[in-house]
Structure formats: structure tokens, C-alpha cells
Structure 1
Amino acid sequence: MATEYHRGELAVQDRAELSRQAAFSLGGIGGTIPPVAAAFLAEQPLIVVGGTDADGRTWATQLTGPPGFLRVPDPETLLIDARPLPEDPLAALLAGPAQVGMIAIEPASRRRMRINGRAAPTGTGLRVDLDQVISNCPKYIQKRGHRFPDLAGASPRPRKAVRGTALDGRQQDAIRAADTFFVATADEQGNTDASHRGGNPGFLRVLSPTLLRWPDYVGNAMFLTLGNLELRPEAGLLVPGWETGTALHLSGTARTIWDADEIARVPGAQRLVEFSVRDVLEIPDALPLRWSSPDYSRFNPPVA
């Protein structure tokens, strides 16, 4: 997996006529964490994790902790001092060895990095042996500050997960208002990737209670997500509730739309991705983190 593109990524790069740019971008994929990246991870309170459960469903989730909960004891290893909630869609998977894709994101500085590898539980946390370390540009990240609310003396709030096979009206409204989501995919061998998608509210469209669509904007031409979808359509979405701590998890299948007429109707789109919802899991108060209102990225295309 490490520093070569697989056949799905190469096929998408070729179809997009961006193979030369992709070859240049390959230099941003490595197998170890450099010191500057280790320092970045040590400052983060959140990491997004993608994986595929025992039923073949791909999900994306998020783990949090105070700065320092992500540690790099050596350049080929990441330690995460956190495990998923019992209600989390990846709780069972991460209780044992698993292939995972991860992305650490710092909205306040619009920085991010992707880390893919093999996870194993270690007490109350995870150890990840790394296969890929990927540097990404800051495009389409909305700037936000974060805080951990002071909950000392507060009574624990009951947490009741909502499950379904289609989006209800409230969940559809949350998606229409979203400016950020995360998507997890995997190739045929299970090598997993987690990626960020951002734009102005409305860029993630609800076509029906079981069908979403979003534009694929100009990027680094690696096509790690679309390349995986070329080989395996299963995907998982995480729509974070930045101000509430709610996590909306979706699992289903996705496909890339190349039709020029359809693409031309969406400002800034180079391609479109259509996601068919199969499973919905909404977890209120999933995270202790709270985030400020966004300062939208200047790179976000307008939404029609």
C-alpha cells in the first residue's frame, strides 16, 4: 500500500487526465511520520477513523482526547489513548486487529494529515502500525476553534443512539446545513482511507432519504477516495455536529458520476459522487468537544 498507487487510483487519474499531476503528488505519500508531523499530532484533540465491520459495512467515526492523546513513539507507530463508545459503529471492529484509515484535522489552522495502517487494541487505547502517511493541502477546511466544556459536577446525560435505514427529516436538515463531512473507503484488500470533504452549506445535497450527492472539487489528483470506490463501492460518512457533539454516521455505497452535463450544473465540480444510504446511526453527545462557528474557506465554490 505504502508509496504506490493501486490500479483503481491509476484508473481514475487516467480518466480525469491528471496522471502527470498525480505522479508529482505521489511525493506526498510516505510510510513514516516525520518529526514535524509528530508534533502536529501531539497537539490535536481529535482524529477521524475509518474501517469496515464484520458485515462488510464501511463506517467513519471520531476519537477525541486532550492534546497528547495522539503519540508517536517511533516514526512507524501511532498510539491513540482513546477507544470508541460502546454505541459506536466501529466499537466491535476496534476491539481487535483492524485495518484503518485516519485523518487528523486542525480546523483552527486549516491543517490536516492522513494516516493509514493496522490497528490493535492496547488497554484503553489503540496502537497503529503505519502503512501510509499523507500530507494534504488546506483547501475547503472551515476555520474553527474548539473547547472542552467544563462538566465538573454535571449529571451524566443519557445517550440514546438512533438507528435506521433512511434519513429522517431532522437528519436531512443537518446534512443540508453541513459544511464538512468525512468519508471512509477501502480497496479490495481492505486497505482503508479516511478523507475530509468541505464546502459551503448545501454542497452536500439530499436527493432523497436514501440518496446524497456531493461535488468533487479540484484537489491533489491522488484520487485515493475515488480510486477505492473504483474497486469497492462501500463507503462510510461521518457528519459531525460541531456545536452539539452529535455524530451522524452513514454507511452505504458510492459511485462517481462523470457525465459532463450533470457536472456542469454544479459550480466548481470536476466530478460528482452519489452515495446510497444503507444504514444510519446517530449518537447524541458522542463527543465532549465543542467548536465555534465557521470561518468558511476562501476556496469553497458557491453553491447553486
Structure 2
Amino acid sequence: MPVYHRGETAVQQRAGLAAQAEFSRGGIGRTVPEVAAAFLAEQPMIIVGGTDAGGRVWATQLTGAPGFLRVPAPDVLTIAALPHQDDPLAPLLRRAAAPVQVGMIAIEPATRRRMRLNGRARAAGDGLRVDLDQVIANCPKYLQKRTGRLAGEEGVATAPTVRDGTSLTRRQQESLSRADTFYVATGDDLGAMDASHRGGNPGFVQVLSPTLLRWPDYTGNAMFLTLGNLLLNPAAGLLFPHGQDGTLLHLSGTAHTVWETEEVERVPGAQRLIEFSVDAVREVEGASALRWGEPAYSRFNPPVR
């Protein structure tokens, strides 16, 4: 099977980076190396993307004490956690008797290490078993360095406040305009999923309206896994975690790439722009026990006007 699908190769060619993408394909495999398995065993968090029964794509965060992620075989990842019942992916993952496609990314902000894992998940006891199809090494650009801790059971609300909507409130818009990190889940036209990180200096996410966001696509590894998926399937899910109180802001909608030179040139460092239209919003206060310290911004972050 080819490493890249037709959406990814089309974007690579349009960007004029097909040769670099060919070089980067060496970072895509199907098994987890021993050093990567050890990395996963140290992590308290993994981001998971999936598609709900209505066809909406969402991204969420699963957490646990280090060791909750394990690699019992080179092509298998087990996750000793399930989404909270109020999580938009809870119906998909908590009852996944048959395999469902998921995209995942594990990140250690304190060291800026990260890796992506995509495959087929099914419920297994109080967690998930994922048979892996892709294991991807990622570069650490635009990842803010910060330390985290698990607050324990007291960090997760027993009855969290859930707010649903179809547009962003003014408070949510202000929060997003200050964000330096978020996660994006996408899928191709056959349902295979991917999850990725996006980072930059505060203000790199532009809130154009209560239902429209835009962010720059900076120079990366030229794989274009996210943009390639969007070319074939515009559905996308965003996750904005609030590291001080454990609030998770989930957005689901559609996205497309803006290539027009004049628009792109207005944004420092941008090679392209991504515009995201909001269809559904779910904010869950106290959803996560993870707490994060103040960031040390990546030296690769372009300035924000």
C-alpha cells in the first residue's frame, strides 16, 4: 500500500514539496519502536480523534497515570481510559464492540516530544485496544514547552458543566484568540482518521466570527496529512484544552485550505491558511485532571500581528 493517499500527494504537489514529502515518508511506519513504546508508557495524556454516528468529527483528550498507555505488541496500543460520559466521542468509544477508526497524537510538552498513531479501536474492559495502521514520527516545531501534572480525582468534576451550541460565545471567542495550542482531527474519504497538533504564539488563531476560525499553516515536514484529508473530506474536529481548570472545548465543523497568495502574505510565517466553519460546540468544565504551567514559547513560532 502507498504511504500517502491521493489527497496528501495532491497537496504535496500543489505546495511544490513532493520531494521533501518523499524524504519524510521514512518517518511513517506500522509498528512502534521500543524507544517510542517507552515514551508512550511515560505519558499522562493522548489526543484521540474520531467520527460520531452523525458523521461529525471530534477530537478529545484521554488521561491517566503514566503507564495507562502500553504497547503489548509492536502494532497494538492499549489505553486504560475511556472518555467521560459527557464527551462528544463517548458514544463512539465507550461502546466500540466493533473496531472504529481513530487518529491519535501523544505529546510531552516538557520535552517537546510527540508521535502520531492511527488505527482501529475497540472497547476492552475499562479502556481501548487500538490495532495500529500508521505510526508517525513528528517534528517538534511550534510546540510550546510546559510542565504538567495530574490533579487526581479532585481535578475531575463528578457532574461537570456542559454547554452545547452551534456558535462560539463571546467568552469562548476571547479564549481562542489567546490560545497557543490546539489539536485537530480529520479523516479521509474512506474513514481513516488522523490527529495533529497546531501551535503558535497567542493570537495565531484568528476568530473571524462566532462560527469562523482561521489559522496559518506554517512550514513543516511536508507530509500534509491534515490538509490531504481535508482535500478529500472537509469534516474536522478541534480541541482547545484549558490547562488551568481542566476545561475542554470541543468544536466540530468543516475546514478548507486557502491558497490565495494575497491572503496568505498578510499572515507572518504562513505558507497557507486554514479556515474552519463551526457547526457544533461542546464545552465541558472540569473534564480533565491535567493541569499545565505557563508556556515557554517555541523559538520557531512566527510573530503574530
TM-score after normalising by structure 2: 0.97
Q: CA deviation digits over 1:262-285, x for unaligned, max 9?
A: 000000000000000000000000
TM alignment of 1:147-186, pairs within 5 A: 147-149=149-151, 158-186=159-187
Q: CA deviation digits over 1:9-64, x for unaligned, max 9?
A: 00000000000000000000000000000000000000000000010000000000
Q: Quote the RMSD (CA, aligned, Å).
A: 1.3
Counterparts of 1:147 and 1:223, CA distance in 2: 32
Counterparts of 2:279 and 2:159, CA distance in 1: 26
1:24 matched to 2:48: no
Counterparts of 2:159 and 2:119, CA distance in 1: 34
For residue 35 of structure 2, give the secondary structure of its aligned residue in structure 1: helix
Q: What is the letter of the counterpart of residue 20 of structure 2? A: Q
TM alignment of 1:69-108, pairs within 5 A: 69-94=68-93, 95-96=95-96, 97-108=99-110
- Residue aligning to 1:286: 287
1:56 matched to 2:58: no
Are the counterparts in 1 of residues 156 and 287 from structure 2 also a CA contact under 8 Å?
no
Q: How many residues align?
A: 302
Counterparts of 1:75 and 1:167, CA distance in 2: 41
- Residue aligning to 2:239: 238
- Residue aligning to 1:259: 260
Q: CA deviation digits over 1:146-200, x for unaligned, max 9?
A: 1122556x99553121000000011001101100000000001100000000000
Q: Find 1:143's aligned residue among 142, 145, 157.
A: 145
Structure 2 gap segments, 5+ residues each: none
Are the counterparts in 1 of residues 249 and 281 from structure 2 also a CA contact under 8 Å?
yes
Q: What is the letter of the counterpart of residue 182 of structure 1? A: Y
Counterparts of 1:298 and 1:155, CA distance in 2: 33
Structure 1 gap segments, 5+ residues each: none
Counterparts of 2:153 and 2:16, CA distance in 1: 52
Counterparts of 1:91 and 1:211, CA distance in 2: 26
Q: CA deviation digits over 1:52-98, x for unaligned, max 9?
A: 00100000000000000000001000000000000001001112131
Cα 1:239/1:108, change in 2 over 3 Å: same
Are the counterparts in 1 of residues 156 and 288 from structure 2 also a CA contact under 8 Å?
no
* Percent of paired sites with the same residue: 67
Q: What is the letter of the counterpart of residue 173 of structure 1? A: E
Q: CA deviation digits over 1:127-146, x for unaligned, max 9?
A: 00000000001100001111
- Residue aligning to 2:208: 207
Counterparts of 2:183 and 2:60, CA distance in 1: 9
- Residue aligning to 1:113: 115
Please report how far the alpha carbon of residue 103 of structure 1 lies from its aligned counterpart in structure 2 after TM superposition.
0.1
Structure 1 residue ranges, 4+ long, deviating more than 4 angstroms after superposition: 154-157
